[in-house]
Chains A and B, each alone.
Chain A
Amino acid sequence: MEQVETIQVIEVKEEKHKSKSLWQHAFEALMRDRWAVASLVVIGIYAIVAFLTATGLIAADWAKEVGPSYAPPSFDHIFGTDIFGRSVLSKTLKGAEVAISVGIVTGIIAVFIGVVLGAIAGYFGGIIDEIIVWFYTTFNSIPYIMLLVAISFILGKGLGAIYLALGLTSWEGLCRVIRAEVMRHKDREYVQAAKAIGAGDMRRLFKHILPNVLHLVIINFSLQFQTAIKSEVILSYLGLGVQGRPSWGTMIDDAKLELARGVWWQLVSATVAMFIVVLAFNILGDALRDALDPKLKGKS
């Protein structure tokens, strides 16, 4: 019975004269995974909220006094108010903007450094490889949290400093993986074929090899995203965080003084908002890894 089915599948494929790519397979696998789809929806909603607050369509009045100081959650103020009588709901929504932008920008910085250095090291080998390996070993030798703190301490406060500090501290993992993968690919037949028809080093590397290791970038980006969101909280607590606008980090930081007075709503709102999106990224990251990296299937 099973054999018959396989034969049919092969026939269908031959009819189309085209086999599915890794991406199509991955997409189908992802769509079959209920949890992954749910995570995608959640992330989509957060992205929309972030976009709407960034353009001022919702929560634009987060800085306005809408009620008494520290009003508990009620019908008027669903999530309560903070010390200045501002709506915690608006602040939480506005916080999505910082979180999503931190995730995206640091992800782009980390991916850029990691992919470029990793690809060059893996492709050219030799002394260039040694230097790049030394470079990321060195970066990796300073514990993440200390390097993060040191960089943002030097760069000062503000969103730009957070982007840079997080971006500069999170590229080594990807660099290592890309380097190893490019090494495996560089002597394959398709690269030799590209060489035979006259493609130069840069073309072979960026046009031929990189698309074949791109799935690692996507997996990494997804896992990177949630680390960035979580790290923003720590930086905010250290007083190195976002200034002048609400973020979940500064809300949680504010809560350390509020809790003793029984004001729990700001902490709970920010924590829950963050928990949901970080969880979604965790689940999506695992699902992406299963879908895009068949070697690892079912192992974690």
Chain B
Amino acid sequence: MNIYVYIFRRILYVIPVLLGVCLIIFVLFNLVSPDPTLMMLGRHATLKQMLELRHELGLDRSLPLQYLDIVKSAFTFDFGRSWSTKQEIVEMIRNGAIPSLTVTVPSFIIALAISLVIALFVAFYRGAWYDRFSVLICVGMMSLPSLAYILFGQKILAYDLGLFEISGYEHGFPAFIPYVILPCVIWIMLSIGPDVRFYRTVILDEVYMDYVRTARAKGLSETVILFKHVLKNAMIPIITWVVIQIPFLILGALLLESFFGIPGLGGITLNAINSADFPVVRAMTILSAVAYIIFSVITDVLYTLVDPRVRLK
């Protein structure tokens, strides 16, 4: 198949998937969910009040129209207003994005660098005791619940030892730094386990290939083989793994943000859940799905451009 046809078809496939995502959200929030007016007005609501509120929220419109509203919001990002704060949701997202990114982006980059270095190191000395030891440490780190990292980190590093701010946030460039260090450290601890394991696996996948044997047979050193041959081929799954995580950076860190009082998107989502704020939870779900779809298309297109074998399929 022609490469451009493939890319075009891949991009076109976004439409049915996006419509499907909207359908799931519609089923969840508009069909299955209990009547939100009851939650908002409390037990003693009169029927008249409920009907008025239903009209105000657009819940008395026909179901296909409600579905169309969701589809429209997925394309225009016009999510309406929050039920609890009455703010424009787009505005909330715009305000929350920066604090979220100040936590997620540095952690993501540092975690990527650290994990890749560790993975290359253990793959180079594969089979040695520190290779097996590192795998065990990774699995061990993955087995601890993320809340335990957050709670112990906050208690020991910030509260007892006073190394970092316990919680809070300040807007503006140098001001936010002290507040994000500890969340970043915890994020890095949380990602090193799965990352190292994944990178090690993809690197070792390549190490046993025939071309590596050939390279070794013609007398290349292990270092050259690892960095020039193996890493180049392992780059494809690594890039996929990295790019597909980017949408989650935008989404912010749900638990970290609420614990450390960072006014980001994760915190907004959590507050919305606690106050049964349907439109905000729905908007965050749509936003994260749209981000995921966009980045998975980017990954697939990059893939096709980088690896000629993909096109044949």
Contact = CB atoms under 8 A, between A and B. Distances in A.
Contact of B281 (A150, A255, A279): A150
Contact of A275 (B28, B144, B151, B288): B144
Contacts of A264: 155
Contacts of A271: 144-145, 148
A143 to B, nearest CB: 5
Contacts of B1: none
Contacts of A259: 151, 154-155, 159
A233 interface: yes
A175 to B, nearest CB: 15
Contact of A252 (B34, B147, B270): B147
B222 interface: no
Interface string B193-205: 0000100110011
B20 A279 contact: no
Contacts of A147: 24, 285
A156 to B, nearest CB: 7
A134 B20 CA distance: 8
A141 B143 contact: no
A145 to B, nearest CB: 6
B139 A283 contact: yes
A98 to B, nearest CB: 14
A220 interface: no
A278 B285 CA distance: 28
A73 interface: no
B17 interface: yes
Contacts of B284: 146
Contact of A255 (B28, B151, B247): B151
B151 A267 contact: yes
A279 B140 contact: yes
Interface string B70-100: 0000000000000000000000000000000
Interface residue tally on B, bucketed by range: 35 or more
A149 B269 contact: yes
Interface string B282-297: 1011001100110010
Interface in B1-55: 16-18, 20-21, 23-25, 28-29, 32-34
Interface stretch (B106-114, B179-187, B231-239, B248-256): B248-256
Interface string A138-176: 110111011101110111100000000000000000000
Contact of A142 (B139, B142, B205, B289): B289
Contacts, number: 128
Interface residues of A, number: 45
A212 interface: no
A120 interface: no
Chain A contact surface mostly? helix
A138 B17 contact: yes
A230 B145 contact: yes
Contacts of B282: 150
A149 B17 contact: no
A124 interface: no
A300 B201 contact: yes
B274 A239 contact: yes
Q: Which of A138, A147, A230, A286 has the most CB of B within 10 A?
A: A138
Interface string A189-230: 000000000000000000000000000000000000010001
A29 to B, nearest CB: 18
A137 B288 CA distance: 14
B107 to A, nearest CB: 17
B273 interface: yes
Given A138-B20, A299-B201, 14 more contacts: A137-B17, A141-B18, A142-B285, A143-B251, A150-B282, A156-B34, A234-B254, A252-B147, A256-B147, A267-B148, A267-B151, A271-B148, A275-B145, A279-B139
19 contacts: A134-B16, A142-B288, A143-B292, A146-B285, A147-B24, A149-B269, A153-B276, A154-B33, A233-B146, A252-B148, A255-B151, A259-B151, A264-B155, A267-B152, A271-B144, A271-B148, A278-B143, A278-B144, A279-B139
Interface of B: 16-18, 20-21, 23-25, 28-29, 32-34, 139-140, 142-148, 151-152, 154-155, 159, 197, 200-201, 204-205, 247-248, 251, 254-255, 259, 269-270, 273-274, 276, 281-282, 284-285, 288-289, 292-293, 296
